[in-house]
Chain A
Amino acid sequence: MQKLIVGVSGINAIDNPGPGIGVARSLKEDPDLAVTIIGLAYDAMDPGLYMDWVVDKSFIMPYPSGSSEAFIERLLYIKKTCGLDHVIPNLDAELPLYIKHSRTLADHGIKTFLPTMEQFRLRGKDQLTAVAEKIGAGLPQTRVVNSLEALVQAVGEIGLPVMVKGCLYKAYRAGTLQEAVGHFHHLVAEWGYPIIVQEVVTGDELNVVGVGDGTGECLGLVGVKKICTTALGKIWTGVTVRNEPMLAAARAFVREFRWRGPFELECIISPDQIYLIEVNPRFPAWVYLATGVGLNLPSRLLRASCGQPVPPDNAYEAGKLFIRYSYELVTDMTNFQQAITRGETR
């Protein structure tokens, strides 16, 4: 396979890490791929800018919430200056922009492998009921609210405790109405409306990562149980699981929606029911676990995107441990200076 230059975002390997480093590392570890990684950062302090054994060169990007023209122009500048064959966006906030402009990017020789906008909307927390029904999963009682009065009513209908969730990010458990109101105000201030109020269901919290090929076929699935999480609920230690009902739901998700690209399903498994809690239309930050157990999903995505054969073997072993750790890197100021002054490194 010819050398590929791949842009990867989400290289903020911090305490709430983006998936980019796991994706980049996976691509580098495929012995049959010759990949140069271009880090697409939003902050000069993103650790990925300094991890030169994973990220070969980095660029500071304009925020996706700003001008889409500026964003696309920046990608075209990168294409012009160092080549850019493919982009794997890994952050929720930038996905609509990449999806919307995927044709433009393709016309300029920059490939993506993403869901359609219609598929992307399925990840909305207000769409989960329809998704859960189609894949044979349950959904905790859920209300989508747009006012404080509606929140109070929803809490009354569902009963305490409840989960109070932002439309894009963050979820908090509330044991009292006062707590729920506090979380509501916090989430509205940070992410806006709507707010989702959800019944708390008990069971094993399991997640599954996968890639769909866009025709209903799955390019690989790996399930995980989070053993230890950070204060933000991010995985710190986990173990691979083979939970057949969850894997079947994930396969149904790919088949029913002809999902194209990476995804993560967050589930709660009780003895007689699987509940769908969230759909993420991108790789999760723990994606390297899949690579570590033999299913290099970022590499499979890239191969599928380039029309290359994808390994047919989807087996992996349950009971493989994932340990995240903190580590320090000491370097000079060059990359930081370049990121600040030029908006790019090396």
Chain B
Amino acid sequence: MATLARLAINEEGFVFDPTTGDSFGVSATGVIILKGIRDGLDDKKIAQRLADEFIVTLDDAGRDVADFRVQLKTLALI
């Protein structure tokens, strides 16, 4: 979480880590999830944000959040 907190995330999905110089590209979905995690929301609330923003069911959005979390863990960002 400490890593995620320091990331600079722009609206177009460019993510920069000022400590390591690493940069990543994420989709619009990823931006919402990253910001949600950083805001301290639980997965349900993040999924609700996705469902509000995109034409997607709450169940599908919940799976997207869970999948994305796995990727963030793989990259040691959370």
How many angstroms between the C-alpha atoms of A302 and B18 in the bound complex?
30
Contact A204 B16 (CB under 8 A): no
**Pick the contact of A271 from B18, B21, B76 — CB < 8 Å?**
B76
How many angstroms between the C-alpha atoms of A319 and B76 in the bound complex?
20
Contact A204 B22 (CB under 8 A): yes
**A residues in contact with B20, CB < 8 Å:** 204, 206, 225, 241, 243, 269
| A16-65 residues at the B interface, CB under 8 angstroms | none
- Interface presence of A318 (CB below 8 A): yes
How many angstroms between the C-alpha atoms of A69 and B19 in the bound complex?
47
Most buried by A among B20, B21, B22, B76: B21
- Interface presence of A145 (CB below 8 A): no
How many angstroms between the C-alpha atoms of A269 and B21 in the bound complex?
11
How many A residues face the partner with a CB closer than 8 A?
Answer: 16
| A210-226 residues at the B interface, CB under 8 angstroms | 224-225
| B1-55 residues at the A interface, CB under 8 angstroms | 8, 16, 18-23
Q: Mark B39-78, 1 if CB is under 8 A from A, else 0.
A: 0000000000000000000000000000000000000100
Contact A206 B76 (CB under 8 A): no
**A residues in contact with B19, CB < 8 Å:** 241-244, 318
B3 to A: closest C-beta gap in Å = 9
How many angstroms between the C-alpha atoms of A227 and B20 in the bound complex?
11
Contact B8 A319 (CB under 8 A): yes
**A residues in contact with B8, CB < 8 Å:** 319
Contact A319 B18 (CB under 8 A): yes
**Quick one: closest A residue to B17, CB to CB?**
A241
How many angstroms between the C-alpha atoms of A210 and B18 in the bound complex?
19
How many angstroms between the C-alpha atoms of A238 and B22 in the bound complex?
11
Interface residues of B: mostly helix, strand, loop or mixed? Answer: loop
Contact A241 B18 (CB under 8 A): yes
- Interface presence of A239 (CB below 8 A): yes
Given contacts A319-B8, A319-B16, contact A241 B21 (CB under 8 A): yes
**B residues in contact with A243, CB < 8 Å:** 19-20
**B residues in contact with A241, CB < 8 Å:** 18-21
**B residues in contact with A319, CB < 8 Å:** 8, 16, 18
**B residues in contact with A269, CB < 8 Å:** 20
A208 to B: closest C-beta gap in Å = 12
**B residues in contact with A271, CB < 8 Å:** 76
How many angstroms between the C-alpha atoms of A239 and B22 in the bound complex?
9
**Quick one: closest A residue to B8, CB to CB?**
A319
Contact B76 A225 (CB under 8 A): no
Q: Mark A237-268, 1 if CB is under 8 A from B, else 0.
A: 01111111000000000000000000000000
**B residues in contact with A240, CB < 8 Å:** 21
**Quick one: closest B residue to A242, CB to CB?**
B18
Most buried by B among A239, A240, A242, A244: A239
**Quick one: closest B residue to A318, CB to CB?**
B18
B9 to A: closest C-beta gap in Å = 12
**B residues in contact with A206, CB < 8 Å:** 20-21
Given contacts A319-B8, A319-B16, contact A239 B76 (CB under 8 A): no
How many angstroms between the C-alpha atoms of A144 and B63 in the bound complex?
54
**A residues in contact with B23, CB < 8 Å:** 239
B1 to A: closest C-beta gap in Å = 14
**B residues in contact with A318, CB < 8 Å:** 16, 18-19, 21
A-B contact pairs, 22 of them (CB 8 A): A204-B21, A204-B22, A206-B20, A206-B21, A224-B21, A225-B20, A225-B22, A227-B21, A238-B21, A239-B16, A239-B21, A240-B21, A241-B21, A242-B19, A243-B20, A244-B19, A271-B76, A318-B16, A318-B19, A319-B8, A319-B16, A319-B18
Known: A241-B18, A318-B16, A318-B18. 5 other contacts (CB 8 A): A225-B20, A225-B21, A227-B21, A241-B21, A244-B19
A interface residues, Cβ below 8 angstroms from B = 204, 206, 224-225, 227, 238-244, 269, 271, 318-319
